[in-house]
Amino acid sequence: MEFVKNLAEYQSERPCVVTLGKFDGVHRGHRKLLKEVRRIALENHWKAGVFTFTVSPQVQMGRREAKMLMTNEERENLLRDLGVDLLVECPFTEEIRSMEPDQFIREVLLKRLHASAVVAGTDFRFGKDRKGDADYLLEAGKSMGFHVSVMQKEMDGEREISSTYIREELEKGHMEKVQELMGGPYFITGPIIHGRHLGHSLGFPTINQRPAPEKMLPPRGVYFSRTYVGGKVYQGISSLGVKPTVNSGNEEGNETYLFDCSLDLYGQEAKVEFLSFRRPEEKFDSLDALKNQMSLDIESADQFFSSSRFSTSS
C-alpha cells in the first residue's frame, strides 16, 4: 500500500478509484464503501484509494471529545488488510478547509489522485463550509468525466451504523454489539511493557500495555479477550483499568493473562481484542482476595471460550 502524507508533493501515475472520509473505526458502513472501491478498482485495473485526515476534523475544531475508535496507525493497518492500494492521510489544514468544492475536486481528486471514480455515502460532505455533497459530486462527475457511486448507509435495524453509535455501545461495554457494528472485535494495540512483576507471584503473569491517549476505551473492568502476539493467537482474559488493589495512581492500562503461554514477551507488539465484558474493576482488601477473584474470572473465561463461537478460533 502506498501511504501519502504530503499531498502537495504527490501525483498518482495510475488512475484510482477513491473514497473519502474519516473512517474512524473502519466499521461496516465504511467497509461497504471499501468493497465498492475494490470492485471498481479490480474491474478497471485502477488503484483502490482512500483519502482521509490525520485526525478527525471535528476533534481538531474542538467539537467533540478527542477520543478515537482507532489510532491513525491502527486505521492504516486495517485499511491495508482490507486491500487498499493508496492511502492519503492529509493534515486538516486551513488550506484544505478553505477549498471550494470545485477547487477540491480539481486540485485534490483530479490533479493529485488522478481519480477516475469516486465512492461516497449519501450524506457525504466536502469543501469549504461543507458545501459540496453527493449531488454536487454526481454533477461534477458528469461534466468533468469521472464516475461517481453514491452508496446507501449500512443499517442496523432502523439505525444507521456510525462511529457515534459505536461509541455509545462501547461506553456501555456492549462488546458483542460493538463487534457486530464494526464488522470485527474492538481492539487495542501497543508494545508489551514492564509492570510491577506481581503477576508471576500471584500465579497469573500478565502482559501489560498502555493504550494510546487518543484511543477510546470501554469501561474499566475484566474482559474475555483474544491476543495476537509473536505471530500467534491466544485466548485469555484482560483487565482494563488502574489496578486499585495494588496501585494508588490513576494511569489506565491493560493487563492480559494469556492461556497456554509461558513465553517472555516484553517489548513485542500485541493486539488485544475485547470480546465480552465480564465484570467491573474492583478494589480488593488483600492480594489473596484479588487472586481468588482472578481464579474465578479465569474459570468463567474457560466456559466462555468453550461454549461460544470463539471456541475454535485459537
Ligand X SMILES: Nc1ncnc2c1ncn2[C@@H]1O[C@H](COP(=O)(O)OP(=O)(O)O)[C@@H](O)[C@H]1O
Please give the residue ranges that form the binding site for ligand FMN (CB under 6 A).
Answer: 195-199, 202, 204, 206, 208, 222, 237, 239, 243-246, 255, 257, 281-283, 290, 294, 297
- Residue 239 interacting with ligand X (CB under 6 A): no
Q: Which listed option, ligand X, ligand FMN, none, makes contact with residue 266 (CB within 5 to 8 Å by class)?
A: ligand X
- Residue 191 interacting with ligand X (CB under 6 A): no
- Residue 195 interacting with ligand X (CB under 6 A): yes
**Cα first-last separation, the chain:** 29
Q: Which listed option, ligand FMN, ligand X, none, makes contact with residue 258 (CB within 5 to 8 Å by class)?
A: ligand X
Quick check: 121 and 33 in contact, CB under 8 A? yes
Q: Which listed option, ligand FMN, ligand X, none, makes contact with residue 187 (CB within 5 to 8 Å by class)?
A: none
Give the relative orientation of helices 175-182 and 163-171 as an angle to the nearest 10 degrees.
160
Nearest to ligand FMN of 87, 207 (CB atom)? 207
Strand 253-258 and strand 232-241: the pairing is: antiparallel
* Cα–Cα distance for residue pair 120/49, rounded to 1 Å: 12
Element containing residue 168 per DSSP (H, E): helix 163-171
Handedness of CA 159, 160, 164, 165 (dihedral sign): positive
Q: Which listed option, ligand X, ligand FMN, none, makes contact with residue 246 (CB within 5 to 8 Å by class)?
A: ligand FMN
Residues in contact with ligand X, counted by CB under 6 A, come to a total of 20
* Cα–Cα distance for residue pair 69/24, rounded to 1 Å: 6
Q: Which listed option, ligand FMN, ligand X, none, makes contact with residue 245 (CB within 5 to 8 Å by class)?
A: ligand FMN
Q: Which residue of this chain has its Cβ atom nearest to ligand X in the complex?
A: 199
Q: Which listed option, ligand X, ligand FMN, none, makes contact with residue 192 (CB within 5 to 8 Å by class)?
A: ligand X
| Interaction pattern, residues 263-282, with ligand X; x per rule: CB under 6 A | xxxx----------------
With cell 486540485, the residue in question is: 107
Half-sphere exposure of 206 (CA within 13 A, CB side): 27
- Residue 194 interacting with ligand X (CB under 6 A): yes
Quick check: 153 and 121 in contact, CB under 8 A? yes
CA dihedral 54, 60, 65, 66 (to 10 degrees): 40
Cell numbers linked to 145: 468525466
Nearest to ligand FMN of 182, 301 (CB atom)? 301
Q: How far is the CB of 56 from ligand X (least distance, A)?
A: 33
Residues that bind ligand X (CB under 6 A): 192, 194-200, 205-208, 257-258, 261-266
